């Protein structure tokens, strides 16, 4: 098949030829922007207890500590593909259910 016809088929199928985009400049390792982070359970538990005591029940929906990776410059992100957070609800407080993810436990 002529190269031009093949190129047209690629274009019509909305596909790119990886071999044209991968070369010596391409990394063979991930180029992650996140940094290695470790959250101490002792510190998270202490902070959770503190917000449980200090933040009013009216703000219960927002009593959430997001494990924010410093590599993302303050964005609400734990990794490039995952978010992790701790929500604190005291007895009698309620929050809307997480309908968007089965991983919201």
The tens digit of pLDDT for each residue in 4-22 reads 888 888 888 888 777 777 6
47 Cα distance to chain centroid: 21
CA distance 39 to 80: 17
- Specify if 76 maps to a domain: yes
Q: Considering only residues 37 and 16, tell me which one the structure prediction assigns the higher pLDDT.
A: 37
CA distance 14 to 88: 46
**Mean pLDDT in the chain?**
80
CA distance 87 to 82: 16
Q: Is the pLDDT of residue 40 over 60?
A: yes
Output the pTM of the full model. 0.61
pLDDT at 68: 92
Which range (42-51, 72-81, 93-102) has the least confidence?
93-102
Confidence tier at 99 by pLDDT (50, 70, 90):
low
The count of domains in the chain is 1
Q: How many CB atoms neighbour CB 30 within 10 A?
A: 8
- Specify if 66 maps to a domain: yes
- Specify if 48 maps to a domain: yes
CA distance 17 to 87: 45
- Domain containing residue 62: 32-87
* Interval 59-64 mean pLDDT: 74
- Specify if 96 maps to a domain: no
Q: Is the pLDDT of residue 46 over 90?
A: yes
- Specify if 46 maps to a domain: yes
């Amino acid at each position: 098949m002529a190269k031009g016809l093949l190129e047209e088929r690629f274009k019509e199928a909305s596909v790119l030829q990886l071999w044209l985009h991968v070369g010596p400049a391409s990394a063979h390792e991930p180029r992650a922007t996140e940094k290695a982070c470790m959250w101490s359970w002792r510190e998270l538990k202490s902070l959770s207890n503190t917000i449980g005591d200090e933040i009013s029940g009216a703000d219960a929906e927002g009593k959430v500590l997001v494990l924010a990776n410093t590599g993302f410059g303050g964005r609400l992100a734990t990794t490039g593909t995952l978010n992790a957070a701790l929500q604190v609800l005291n007895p009698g407080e309620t929050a809307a259910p997480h309908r968007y993810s089965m991983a919201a436990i």
